[in-house]
Amino acid sequence: MKVKGEFKQQRPRVLFVVEVNPFLKVTGSQQRSYLILKTLTDKFNVDVLTLDSRTEIPREFSDTARVLLPQGCHNKLDVLFHLVERKLGLSPYEVFAMRHIGMARELKRWIKSSDYRFICVRYLDILTRLGLEWSDRLVVDIDDVPSLKYKSNVLLGQGRLDKNDLKRIGELERMVDKLIEKSIISFVPDKEAAKEKCIYLPNIPINYKKASQQRVEELDAEKCKLLFVGLLSYPPNKLGVEVFLREVWPLVLKKLPDAEFYIVGKGLPEEYLQKWSDIRGVRVLGFVEDLETVYKEASMAVVPIYSGAGTNIKVLEALEYGTPEVMSKFGLRGFKHVLKDGENSLIAEDYKDFANKILELYRDPRKAKLFSGRGKAIIREHYNFDVFKSTLLEGINYE
């Protein structure tokens, strides 16, 4: 096991197992990982085991975190499975509970020789890959529930579930229930998915600046500008935009021929970049350093998500910036307890309804301004770091 960094003081130690680099804050997955790490390092010394060999410790965590890199963490099978996951949105490690035997053995030896208070694991994928089911000190952040990902992807692809699909979903649900039962505590970002020994830990937005209060005042004087923000190498985001461009955008252009659709996010394959850029009114911006500007200039944000699991951080970002939004019913998942159609956002039942609600919001600047204020209030009350931190620490019974 390769170790980077050293602790500056004696404190209880925990192990944080995460595939992505938790010191970055670009994607929703990274942001949640960062928030968990930030909370843990406030009370513990944290060994961060990651499969990203490029991970370096920033100054913020130089005294309280070390990085552990297992040997052989990127063999040919890992590369192949990563390509499958990018294509389908599902990891074979996760779906079939497969194990990386070499890393699993190495990690078990390391844990047996260490005195960790508990082992916090981000995602079931890496838990099964590293064979951590044996431990009785697991704290699991499930985030994307495998059965939900599998179900939504199948439905999006073929429109129905056959007997084999239902059988696989049942197996995945039983696997998750078994891991929840074995863990000390588990966390999910979707309130509806919470159950016994599984606590609701909300996502919160962290990459924002305070947007201008005047942004919605002048929407009626501008052309309609729609905005989508998301990691475009993530299949549910890419597929969602593709569906929106095919089914919804033509209906919008019929009524608003000068409308523009700005797509922000890195990772879009070249063939999609060319294809989308050729569509009238579409502007593919790629990665944007200053999100404040694009949110400020947009008439509204759209969330056309129809597959995946977990919750969409893009929904919270728009609320924080005060940008009114229209979303699919699937994109609402995890926020039904705070977002209500017609009260603080617009929820589309189908593609035609999506287009109609875009037109409705654009033509009613008073409603847009109302949604802007209510969205910011929701973030202040329900989605701040104090709520996140206290929920996580109470869940692990830290005293």
**C-beta of residue 328 within 8 angstroms of C-beta of residue 305:** yes
Average pLDDT value for residue range 225-251: 93
Average pLDDT value for residue range 297-324: 89
CA distance 267 to 274: 13
**C-beta of residue 331 within 8 angstroms of C-beta of residue 156:** no
> Of 76-90, 185-199, 309-323, where does the model show the most confidence?
309-323
Give the pLDDT band of residue 91 (cuts 50, 70, 90).
low
Contacts of 226 (CB under 8 A, 6+ apart): 252, 259, 260, 261, 262, 298, 299, 300, 301, 302, 358
Determine the pLDDT at residue 216: 42
**C-beta of residue 46 within 8 angstroms of C-beta of residue 64:** yes
CA distance 187 to 201: 6
Please tell me the CATH superfamily of domain 215-382, with its number.
Glycogen Phosphorylase B; (3.40.50.2000)
Average pLDDT value for residue range 5-21: 93
Amino acid letter at 321?
Y
Q: Other C-beta atoms within 10 Å of 10: how many?
A: 7
Please tell me the CATH superfamily of domain 2-204+384-395, with its number.
Glycogen Phosphorylase B; (3.40.50.2000)
Task: Tell me whether the CATH fold assigned to 2-204+384-395 matches the one assigned to 215-382.
Answer: yes
* Least-confidence region, from 21-25, 156-160, 169-173, 294-298: 156-160
Predicted model pTM: 0.80
Determine the pLDDT at residue 189: 80
CA distance 320 to 311: 16
Q: Other C-beta atoms within 10 Å of 241: how many?
A: 25
Give the pLDDT band of residue 148 (cuts 50, 70, 90).
low
Q: Write down the domain spans for the chain.
A: 2-204+384-395, 215-382
